[in-house]
Amino acid sequence: MAAPNRLSWSMKKVLESREVFHELQAMHMLHSAVFSIRRLYLQMQGEHEHVRWKRIVCNNKASPKTLFVTWLILHGRIATKDRLFSWGVTVDNCCPLCNATCEIISHLFFECTFSQSIWTVCQRHLKVVVIRRQFDEEIHAVAMKSKRKGAIAQLYCMMFVEAMYQIWLQRTAKIYGGIVLNTEANYRQICFRVASIFNDDIRQLLIC
Protein backbone atom coordinates (compact mmCIF):
# COMPACT_ATOMS: atom_id res chain seq x y z
CA MET A 1 0.00 0.00 0.00
CA ALA A 2 1.44 3.41 -0.99
CA ALA A 3 2.11 5.93 1.80
CA PRO A 4 -0.35 8.89 1.70
CA ASN A 5 1.09 12.08 0.17
CA ARG A 6 0.08 14.27 3.11
CA LEU A 7 2.56 12.53 5.43
CA SER A 8 5.98 13.98 6.20
CA TRP A 9 8.94 12.42 4.39
CA SER A 10 10.10 10.71 7.59
CA MET A 11 6.72 9.03 8.12
CA LYS A 12 6.66 8.02 4.45
CA LYS A 13 10.04 6.35 4.93
CA VAL A 14 8.77 4.50 8.02
CA LEU A 15 5.73 3.21 6.11
CA GLU A 16 7.77 2.39 3.00
CA SER A 17 10.10 0.27 5.14
CA ARG A 18 7.23 -2.27 5.36
CA GLU A 19 7.71 -2.91 1.64
CA VAL A 20 11.42 -3.49 2.22
CA PHE A 21 10.61 -6.00 4.96
CA HIS A 22 8.19 -7.85 2.69
CA GLU A 23 10.67 -7.86 -0.21
CA LEU A 24 13.34 -9.34 2.05
CA GLN A 25 10.85 -11.76 3.58
CA ALA A 26 12.18 -10.47 6.89
CA MET A 27 8.90 -10.16 8.84
CA HIS A 28 9.81 -13.29 10.80
CA MET A 29 12.73 -11.32 12.31
CA LEU A 30 10.28 -8.96 14.02
CA HIS A 31 8.53 -11.88 15.67
CA SER A 32 11.65 -13.74 16.76
CA ALA A 33 12.77 -13.50 20.41
CA VAL A 34 15.81 -11.34 19.61
CA PHE A 35 15.62 -8.80 16.78
CA SER A 36 19.01 -8.10 15.25
CA ILE A 37 19.54 -4.93 13.22
CA ARG A 38 22.87 -6.39 12.06
CA ARG A 39 21.15 -9.45 10.57
CA LEU A 40 18.59 -7.25 8.84
CA TYR A 41 21.32 -4.94 7.50
CA LEU A 42 23.30 -7.90 6.13
CA GLN A 43 20.15 -9.29 4.52
CA MET A 44 19.44 -5.90 2.91
CA GLN A 45 22.99 -5.74 1.57
CA GLY A 46 22.66 -9.10 -0.17
CA GLU A 47 25.57 -11.10 -1.56
CA HIS A 48 28.26 -9.06 -3.30
CA GLU A 49 31.69 -9.85 -4.55
CA HIS A 50 34.40 -8.08 -2.50
CA VAL A 51 36.45 -5.67 -4.58
CA ARG A 52 40.13 -6.56 -4.41
CA TRP A 53 41.23 -2.94 -3.93
CA LYS A 54 39.01 -2.36 -0.88
CA ARG A 55 41.97 -2.07 1.51
CA ILE A 56 43.77 0.48 -0.67
CA VAL A 57 41.01 2.93 0.26
CA CYS A 58 39.76 1.61 3.61
CA ASN A 59 43.14 1.07 5.30
CA ASN A 60 44.55 4.33 4.06
CA LYS A 61 45.23 7.45 6.17
CA ALA A 62 45.26 9.82 3.20
CA SER A 63 42.96 12.86 3.22
CA PRO A 64 39.27 12.44 2.30
CA LYS A 65 39.87 14.46 -0.91
CA THR A 66 42.63 12.08 -2.00
CA LEU A 67 40.60 8.99 -1.12
CA PHE A 68 37.54 10.31 -2.94
CA VAL A 69 39.54 10.84 -6.15
CA THR A 70 41.11 7.37 -5.68
CA TRP A 71 37.68 5.85 -5.23
CA LEU A 72 36.47 7.46 -8.48
CA ILE A 73 39.58 6.23 -10.33
CA LEU A 74 39.25 2.67 -9.01
CA HIS A 75 35.58 2.60 -9.96
CA GLY A 76 36.40 3.95 -13.44
CA ARG A 77 34.21 6.99 -12.69
CA ILE A 78 36.78 9.79 -12.87
CA ALA A 79 35.94 12.30 -15.60
CA THR A 80 38.79 11.60 -18.01
CA LYS A 81 38.60 13.21 -21.45
CA ASP A 82 37.54 10.00 -23.21
CA ARG A 83 34.42 9.93 -21.02
CA LEU A 84 33.75 13.66 -21.49
CA PHE A 85 34.21 13.17 -25.24
CA SER A 86 31.70 10.29 -25.31
CA TRP A 87 29.16 12.52 -23.48
CA GLY A 88 29.71 15.32 -26.02
CA VAL A 89 31.10 17.66 -23.33
CA THR A 90 34.44 18.19 -25.09
CA VAL A 91 35.74 17.87 -28.64
CA ASP A 92 39.26 17.11 -27.50
CA ASN A 93 40.13 13.72 -26.00
CA CYS A 94 43.92 14.13 -26.05
CA CYS A 95 45.97 13.61 -22.87
CA PRO A 96 46.88 17.15 -21.68
CA LEU A 97 50.07 15.94 -19.96
CA CYS A 98 51.82 14.40 -22.98
CA ASN A 99 49.57 15.29 -25.97
CA ALA A 100 50.52 11.89 -27.39
CA THR A 101 47.33 9.86 -27.18
CA CYS A 102 43.75 9.68 -25.91
CA GLU A 103 43.26 10.36 -22.19
CA ILE A 104 41.86 7.18 -20.70
CA ILE A 105 42.32 5.98 -17.11
CA SER A 106 44.92 3.34 -17.97
CA HIS A 107 46.96 5.93 -19.88
CA LEU A 108 46.80 8.53 -17.12
CA PHE A 109 47.77 5.93 -14.46
CA PHE A 110 50.63 5.29 -15.38
CA GLU A 111 51.28 4.75 -19.10
CA CYS A 112 51.66 8.49 -19.66
CA THR A 113 55.34 9.46 -19.52
CA PHE A 114 54.54 12.37 -17.17
CA SER A 115 52.65 10.15 -14.69
CA GLN A 116 55.07 7.28 -15.04
CA SER A 117 58.01 9.47 -14.00
CA ILE A 118 56.17 10.61 -10.83
CA TRP A 119 55.23 7.09 -9.73
CA THR A 120 58.71 5.81 -10.60
CA VAL A 121 60.36 8.43 -8.36
CA CYS A 122 57.98 7.51 -5.53
CA GLN A 123 58.83 3.82 -5.92
CA ARG A 124 62.58 4.53 -6.01
CA HIS A 125 62.37 6.53 -2.78
CA LEU A 126 60.49 3.62 -1.22
CA LYS A 127 63.31 1.34 -2.42
CA VAL A 128 60.90 -0.78 -4.43
CA VAL A 129 61.99 -2.52 -7.62
CA VAL A 130 60.35 -0.49 -10.38
CA ILE A 131 58.29 -2.67 -12.70
CA ARG A 132 56.18 -1.19 -15.49
CA ARG A 133 52.67 -2.57 -15.15
CA GLN A 134 49.29 -2.05 -16.75
CA PHE A 135 46.73 -0.15 -14.62
CA ASP A 136 44.90 -3.31 -13.46
CA GLU A 137 48.16 -5.06 -12.62
CA GLU A 138 49.39 -2.05 -10.64
CA ILE A 139 46.14 -1.95 -8.67
CA HIS A 140 46.50 -5.66 -7.97
CA ALA A 141 50.11 -5.19 -6.78
CA VAL A 142 49.15 -2.32 -4.44
CA ALA A 143 46.10 -4.27 -3.20
CA MET A 144 48.42 -7.15 -2.25
CA LYS A 145 50.69 -4.72 -0.36
CA SER A 146 47.69 -3.19 1.42
CA LYS A 147 47.07 -6.54 3.14
CA ARG A 148 50.36 -6.20 5.01
CA LYS A 149 50.58 -4.37 8.32
CA GLY A 150 54.12 -2.95 8.34
CA ALA A 151 55.07 0.71 8.06
CA ILE A 152 56.53 0.29 4.56
CA ALA A 153 53.29 -1.23 3.27
CA GLN A 154 51.24 1.61 4.80
CA LEU A 155 53.61 4.16 3.32
CA TYR A 156 53.51 2.50 -0.10
CA CYS A 157 49.70 2.50 -0.24
CA MET A 158 49.52 6.11 0.85
CA MET A 159 52.18 7.19 -1.66
CA PHE A 160 50.24 5.37 -4.36
CA VAL A 161 46.95 7.19 -3.71
CA GLU A 162 48.73 10.53 -3.23
CA ALA A 163 50.63 10.01 -6.51
CA MET A 164 47.34 9.40 -8.36
CA TYR A 165 45.82 12.48 -6.70
CA GLN A 166 48.83 14.59 -7.62
CA ILE A 167 48.67 13.42 -11.24
CA TRP A 168 44.98 14.27 -11.32
CA LEU A 169 45.71 17.77 -9.92
CA GLN A 170 48.48 18.30 -12.50
CA ARG A 171 46.32 17.12 -15.37
CA THR A 172 43.56 19.51 -14.27
CA ALA A 173 46.07 22.35 -13.82
CA LYS A 174 47.35 21.82 -17.36
CA ILE A 175 43.83 21.95 -18.81
CA TYR A 176 42.90 25.14 -16.95
CA GLY A 177 46.21 26.95 -17.47
CA GLY A 178 47.63 26.38 -14.00
CA ILE A 179 51.24 25.67 -13.06
CA VAL A 180 52.55 22.25 -14.07
CA LEU A 181 55.42 21.10 -11.85
CA ASN A 182 58.38 18.93 -12.75
CA THR A 183 58.75 15.38 -11.43
CA GLU A 184 60.84 16.30 -8.40
CA ALA A 185 58.47 19.10 -7.33
CA ASN A 186 55.51 16.74 -7.72
CA TYR A 187 57.30 14.17 -5.58
CA ARG A 188 57.95 16.80 -2.88
CA GLN A 189 54.24 17.71 -2.78
CA ILE A 190 53.30 14.02 -2.45
CA CYS A 191 55.88 13.61 0.33
CA PHE A 192 54.61 16.68 2.15
CA ARG A 193 51.06 15.32 2.27
CA VAL A 194 52.23 11.85 3.32
CA ALA A 195 54.65 13.19 5.97
CA SER A 196 51.98 15.42 7.49
CA ILE A 197 49.86 12.37 8.31
CA PHE A 198 52.39 9.86 9.64
CA ASN A 199 54.36 9.87 12.88
CA ASP A 200 58.12 10.53 13.09
CA ASP A 201 59.10 6.83 12.78
CA ILE A 202 57.37 6.41 9.43
CA ARG A 203 58.40 9.93 8.33
CA GLN A 204 62.02 8.86 8.72
CA LEU A 205 61.47 6.24 6.01
CA LEU A 206 60.76 9.03 3.54
CA ILE A 207 64.05 10.82 4.09
CA CYS A 208 66.47 7.92 4.39
Residues within the interface to Zn ion (CB under 5 A): 95, 97-98, 112
Least separation in angstroms between CB 161 and Zn ion: 20
Closest approach of Cβ 141 to Zn ion, in Å?
21
Dist. CA 31–CA 154, nearest whole Å: 46
Distance CA 19, CA 178 (A): 52
Of 38, 89, 70, whose CA–CA distance to 158 is shortest?
70
Cβ nearer to Zn ion, comparing 98 with 151: 98
Burial of 201 (0-12, 13-18, 19+ CB in 10 A): exposed
CB of 111 to Zn ion, least distance (A): 7
CB of 62 to Zn ion, least distance (A): 24
Of 98 and 206, which has the nearer Cβ to Zn ion? 98
The nearest distance, CB 115 to Zn ion, in angstroms, is: 7
The Cα 159–Cα 188 span in angstroms is 11
Nearer to Zn ion, 37 or 179 (CB): 179
Nearer of residues 36 and 113 to Zn ion, judged by Cβ: 113
Nearer to Zn ion, 112 or 163 (CB): 112
Q: How far apart are the first and last CA of the chain?
A: 67
C-alpha span between 26 and 124 (Å, rounded): 54
